[in-house]
Structure 1
C-alpha cells in the first residue's frame, strides 16, 4: 500500500488553491470548479469544495475550516529561504518562525486561510537526513 493524498475540504476553494499554489510554487491542476490537486513526487494535496461532499454521503461527512489535529507537511531544501521568500505573503499566518526541532528538522509552521496547520521543514541532522533518504 502507498500513501497517495490528503484532501482539504473548503468553503472557498479559490482562496485555498491560490494560497497553496503561492506557498509551494508548484502547479495546481483544476479538474473542475470544485476540485484541484497539487502533485509532488511522493503525494498529492487535493482541495475540494464543500459541494464535493455530496459524492461521499452528504454535508455531514466533513466540516470545512474545522481541523484542529492535522498538520500538512512539505519537505523543502531550505526552509529559511522559503520563509524569507514568503514573509510578506504569509504576514500574520506564521505560527512559528523557522526553528530547529529536537528531532533534527528545521521547521516553519503556518496556517492556511481555513486555519489548517502547514509545516515546511528541512532535515538538518544526519539522523533526520537518513530518515528521508529511504
Structure 2
C-alpha cells in the first residue's frame, strides 16, 4: 500500500489553495473547480470542496471542523520560514522553538483552522531519525 495524500474539505477551495500555494511555494494542479492537489516530492495535499464529499457517499466530513490532525512539513530553516510567513499567517500557535524530541518547529492555523507544523530536525538524534526518510 502506498500513502497517496491528505485531503482537506473546505467551502472555499480558492482561498485555501491560495494559502497553501504561498506556504508550500508550489502551484496547485486544478483538475476541477472543486478539487486541487499540491504535489510535493514527499506527499500530496489535496483540497476538495464540501460538495465532493457527497460523491463518496460520505456525509460525515465537514469543512472547518477538524481539531485532531496536524499537517506537518519538513523544511530546511524553520526560523527563515517563520519570517517569510509572518505576513500570511493569521494565527500562530507556536513561534519557533526546539521541541523535546529534537525538532525545531513552528505551529500555526490555516484559514480553516487546521494546524500546520513546519519543522526541521536539529539535534543529532533527530537528524539520524530522519536520515533515511525522503
Equivalent position of 1:66 in the other structure: 65
| Structure 1: runs of 5+ lacking an equivalent | none
| SS at 1:47 equivalent | strand
Say if 2:13 is the partner of 1:13.
yes
1:5–1:46 contact (8 Å) kept in structure 2? yes
Instruction: Please name the residue that 1:83 is paired with.
Output: 82
Pairwise CA RMSD of aligned residues? 1.0
Aligned residues: 132
2:89 is aligned with 1:108: no
Describe the SS at the equivalent of 1:113: coil
Within 1, Cα distance between the matches of 2:98 and 2:22? 24
Any unmatched runs of 5+ in structure 2? none
4+ runs deviating over 6 angstroms: none
In 2, Cα distance between equivalents of 1:129 and 1:6: 25
Which has the larger share of helix?
1
- Give the TM-score normalised by the residue count of structure 2: 0.94
Give the alignment's TM-score, normalised by structure 1.
0.94
Structure-1 separation of matches of 2:40 and 2:125: 24
Instruction: Give how far 1:2 is off.
Output: 2.3
